[in-house]
């Protein structure tokens, strides 16, 4: 198992990485210009397009990019940047699935004209059919066991199709995951380690390479190491690189 932590700009550093060398990326890019990250932030469409292009280049066929993102609210409206990024990832060649991280607790109040903001988008970009990992099956089924009939959707004739399956006690999760927000005085925008952990076991195997181009305080690296994955992290701010080194350990 190898751990590599790099201080630098992820766009530049990704050009040094071997093509199709990463099995899984779990990352959270800047949310518009909501935070300054020690004055290091340069973030706009011209930047995030290069990041997504770089991620497509380094991702293996069958690999995954998990992109945790939200939007700023400006003049009473969300910017929609997250949607633009998802659409551009598809232009690059990725397939896209949308998941939701629902934050337990009250969430942000947001604008007085709308309901409180309590979730973030988690886009799952795949380079072809996902080839690694195993979906988490911890959703308790109402029918515990035995054969049951399920609706398979409408056929070409518009009629419903029914098939019989062997029901097991637990089924795969939905695409809405609920986690507490992460409190970390060393970084302005950490995400929960459990979120990283669950995506890593969903989309990779032991010995695979996990990547985070926006390393921050190193949460993805902490989870990757615990799960015996190789890890590469890139971060511009030296302060955060040092924090990540302390959290991940001395295996880099």
In this structure, are residues 196 and 226 in contact, taking their beta carbons and an 8 Å threshold? no
d(CA 243, CA 228): 20
CA geometry: angle at 218 spanning 212 and 221, to 5°?
Answer: 65
Q: Read off the tokens for 12.
A: 């530049």
What's the pLDDT at 201? 97
d(CA 233, CA 42): 19
| pTM given for the model | 0.83
What's the pLDDT at 7? 96
Q: Read off the tokens for 23.
A: 């099995």
pLDDT tier at 215, thresholds 50, 70, 90: very high
Question: Can you name the residues that pair with 139 across neighbouring β-strands?
Answer: 171
End-to-end CA distance of the chain: 10
Q: What is the mean pLDDT of residues 26-46?
A: 72
pLDDT tier at 230, thresholds 50, 70, 90: very high
d(CA 79, CA 116): 17
What's the pLDDT at 140? 82
Q: Kindly state the percentage of the chain with pLDDT values over 70.
A: 79
Q: Kindly state the percentage of the chain with pLDDT values over 90.
A: 61
Compute the mean pLDDT over every residue in the chain, rounded to the nearest whole number.
85
What's the pLDDT at 127? 98
Between 178 and 165, the higher pLDDT residue: 178
Overall size of the chain counted in residues: 252
């Amino acid at each position: 198992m190898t751990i590599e932590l790099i201080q630098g700009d992820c766009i530049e550093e990704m050009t040094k990485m071997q093509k199709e060398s990463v099995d899984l990326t779990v990352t959270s890019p800047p949310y518009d210009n909501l935070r300054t990250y020690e004055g290091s932030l340069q973030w706009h469409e011209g930047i995030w397009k290069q990041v997504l292009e770089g991620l497509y280049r380094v991702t293996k066929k069958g690999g995954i990019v998990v992109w945790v993102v939200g939007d700023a609210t400006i003049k009473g409206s969300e910017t929609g940047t997250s949607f633009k990024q998802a659409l551009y990832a598809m232009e690059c060649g990725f397939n896209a699935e949308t998941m939701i991280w629902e934050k337990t607790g009250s969430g942000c109040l947001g604008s007085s004209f709308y309901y409180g903001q309590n979730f973030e988008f988690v886009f799952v970009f795949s380079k072809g059919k996902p080839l690694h990992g195993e979906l988490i099956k911890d959703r308790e089924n109402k029918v515990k066991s035995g054969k049951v009939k399920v609706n398979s959707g409408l056929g070409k004739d518009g009629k419903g199709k029914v098939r019989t399956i062997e029901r097991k006690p637990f089924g795969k999760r939905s695409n809405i995951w609920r986690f507490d927000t992460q409190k970390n005085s060393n970084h302005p925008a950490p995400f929960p380690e459990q979120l990283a952990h669950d995506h890593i076991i969903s989309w990779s195997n032991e010995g695979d390479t996990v990547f985070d181009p926006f390393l921050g305080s190193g949460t993805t690296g902490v989870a990757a190491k615990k799960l015996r994955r190789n890890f590469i992290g890139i971060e511009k701010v030296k302060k955060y690189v040092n924090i990540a080194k302390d959290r991940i350990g001395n295996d880099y």
